[in-house]
Amino acid sequence: MAERIILQTNGAVDHAMRNAGTLEGWKEHVARYAVGNSRLVLALSTAFAAPLLYPTGAESGGFHFRGASSTGKSTALVVAGSAWGGGGIRGYVRTWRATSNGIEGIASMHCDCLLCLDEMGQVDGREAGQIAYMLANGVGKARASRTGEARPAAEWRLLFLSSGELSLADKIAEDGRGRKAAAGQQVRIVDIPADAGAGMGLFENLHGFPSADAFARHLKMAAGEHYGHASIAFLRTLVDNFDAIAPNVKAYVDEFLEENCPTDADGQVSRVAARFGLVAAAGEMATLADVLPWEPGEATRAAARCFRDWLAMRGGVEPAEESEGIATVRRFIELHGTSRFEAMGDLAPKDGFGGPVEQRISNRVGFRRRADGGGIEYLVLPEAWRTEVCAGLDAAAVARTLARRGYLATDSEGKPQVKTRLPGFANAVRCYVIPADILGEAEPAPVAAGGPLF
Ligand SMILES: Nc1ncnc2c1ncn2[C@@H]1O[C@H](COP(=O)(O)OP(=O)(O)OP(=O)(O)O)[C@@H](O)[C@H]1O
Ligand SMILES: [Mg+2]
């Protein structure tokens, strides 16, 4: 006889792992419609990937659907959540707002499960950053108990789906105090453009529905009628084949990486690719187990597509700090190219007789002059480079990146500073010389042509 296990807790647990309708109804009226819709397939596959974290030792983290209002973001969360539960007043999906008040309780309650967090817009940037970090790190704050003894911090392991109009990075920058999302945060919560580019918001295939609007409304309604069965059916198959999970998933993720992750990708990129691979593996496993009514390959295609969209939006395969450094310098010159750089040489203003005119530059960071081959060069003094242009970043690392990309002149020894004679300085001084090209070119080309799928 099967062993009966009773879980006894201190109080009632406010969970949403209820069920209604049937698994067949869910497959027919909800899951089937995800086919051909990369975001829906990814969201549903993520629902099944959560219980794979434990047997495979994969790290916690999440996907964030970012995009304009009424494009189907919350719908995608509702659809994915219906694999796990629903009902009650709120259904399975939680909000960022509610989570910021009780993150530890909510996160531990979703341990090894999917957590859906809607509406990042409801919390401020700093809070969003902290929640994302904590959720993905899997541990809460240690607190004192009523008797003053240290109470162990809550721990969890989960995957989450989130939605909002801004990306986490933009959200964190939103408060205007110059905060930036750390690269670590951007790896933990992977930002996916909600718009799939087919002119129908998050959707690509409406399966005969007259409009994206009608399709979204159907999905939400059907997910409210059939929910909570799929996760149980999937967990059953996992339990029956527990020892095979880790090796199977690993082989699958390796294959996914080989096919989709550019070979020259930075560690941050391959870490994110591995998360997409895990999700693809989960979708394929649930398909094989007949929990998802999809053809084999559907989950993999969707994960690969979303990974490509993430990579294209990220702007390349180099570490996020590098693209951020280039963007920061570019932004500084765009904003202050004329106001904070004193013109020198033939750019310097002259009076009617060709004599020099005194320039009033407040908070000068350097000079600008005509380059040998035409164009304008910006020369930044070392102190201003560190404290103004690269404020908040590792200035030496930014200089190295720019030099490597041809956005900074180097001296004969390859150093990214060049000795130059500047007006008002008795001797030649070392400064950073930035060609105007840095303004002309768009963000680094989306993904090198070398990657196997591109
Ligand atoms: N792709 C779409 N095209 C047109 N209308 C849509 C689309 N997706 C959703 N809608 C309509 O918008 C309503 C809200 O959908 P949903 O909650 O998924 O949007 P959302 O992207 O989360 O928006 P918000 O950012 O405002 O929360 C749906 O009930 C539907 O009527
Ligand atoms: Mg919404």
Please, are residues 443 and 323 in contact by the beta-carbon 8 Å criterion? yes
Q: Are residues 254 and 376 in the same domain?
A: no
The CA distance from 205 to 215, in Å, is 9
Res 173 pLDDT > 50: yes
- Which residues have beta carbons under 5 A from ligand 2 (an ion)? 73-74
Please provide the DSSP assignment of 52-91 as one string. Answer: GHHHHTPPPEEEEEE--TTSSHHHHHHHHHTTT---TTT-
Q: Are residues 352 and 426 in the same domain?
A: yes
Locate the ligand 1 atom nearest the alpha carbon of residue 202 and give its number. Answer: 1
Q: Please tell me the number of the ligand nearest to residue 166's CA.
A: 1
Regarding predicted confidence, which is higher, 42 or 441? 42
Res 45 pLDDT > 60: yes
Residue 450 has a pLDDT of: 29
Ligand 2 center–CA 70 separation, angstroms: 7
Q: Are residues 335 and 297 in the same domain?
A: no
Please report where in the chains the tokens 């380059």 appear, as a residue: 371
**CA dihedral for 424, 430, 432, 436, sign (positive or negative):** positive
Residue 9 is assigned to a structural domain of this protein = no
Locate the ligand 1 atom nearest the alpha carbon of residue 201 and give its number. Answer: 1
Residue 52 is assigned to a structural domain of this protein = yes
Q: Are residues 154 and 197 in the same domain?
A: yes
Q: Does the beta carbon of 72 lie inside 6 Å of ligand 1?
A: yes
Q: What is the per-residue pLDDT across 343-380, written as a single tens digit (0 to 9) for each?
A: 898 888 887 787 777 778 888 999 999 988 788 899 99
* CATH number, domain containing residue 249: 3.40.50
Choose the final residue of a domain: 279, 314, 349: 314
Choose the final residue of a domain: 296, 314, 332: 314
Residue 176 has a pLDDT of: 57
Residue 276 is assigned to a structural domain of this protein = yes
Residue 104 has a pLDDT of: 86
Q: Are residues 102 and 207 in the same domain?
A: yes
Q: Does the beta carbon of 365 lie inside 6 Å of ligand 1?
A: no
For ligand 1, atom 31: residue with the closest CA: 213
Q: Does the beta carbon of 203 lie inside 6 Å of ligand 1?
A: yes
Residue 183 has a pLDDT of: 66
Residue 182 is assigned to a structural domain of this protein = yes
Q: Are residues 277 and 253 in the same domain?
A: yes
The CA distance from 45 to 34, in Å, is 10
Res 445 pLDDT > 50: no
Q: Are residues 303 and 327 in the same domain?
A: no
Which one of 38, 69, 75, 79 would you pick to mutate in the ligand 1 pocket, going by the greatest count of ligand atoms within 8 A of its CB?
Answer: 75
Ligand 1 center–CA 329 separation, angstroms: 37
What is the span of the domain harbouring residue 334?
320-440
Confidence of residue 448 (pLDDT cuts 50, 70, 90): very low
* Number of C-beta neighbours around residue 339 at 10 A: 11
Q: Are residues 209 and 126 in the same domain?
A: yes
Q: How many domains does the chain have?
A: 2
Q: What is the per-residue pLDDT across 81-99, written as a single tens digit (0 to 9) for each?
A: 999 999 988 899 999 988 7
Choose the final residue of a domain: 281, 314, 347: 314
Q: Are strands 150-151 and 341-343 parallel, antiparallel or unpaired?
A: unpaired
Q: Are residues 330 and 270 in the same domain?
A: no
Q: Are residues 396 and 347 in the same domain?
A: yes
Residue 180 has a pLDDT of: 62
Ligand 1 center–CA 203 separation, angstroms: 11
Which one of 65, 70, 117 would you pick to mutate in the ligand 1 pocket, going by the greatest count of ligand atoms within 8 A of its CB?
Answer: 70
Residue 234 is assigned to a structural domain of this protein = yes
Residue 126 is assigned to a structural domain of this protein = yes
Residue 91 is assigned to a structural domain of this protein = yes
Altogether, the residues listed in the chain come to a count of: 454
Q: Are residues 265 and 356 in the same domain?
A: no
Q: What is the per-residue pLDDT across 402-413, written as a single tens digit (0 to 9) for each?
A: 888 888 888 888
Residue 65 is assigned to a structural domain of this protein = yes
Q: Are residues 99 and 149 in the same domain?
A: yes
Q: Please tell me the number of the ligand nearest to residue 220's CA.
A: 1
Residue 16's contacts (CB-CB under 8 Å, 6 or more residues apart) are 81, 84, 85, 86, 87, 88, 90, 91, 92
Locate the ligand 1 atom nearest the alpha carbon of residue 75 and give its number. Answer: 18
Q: What is the per-residue pLDDT across 277-295, written as a single tens digit (0 to 9) for each?
A: 999 999 999 999 999 999 9
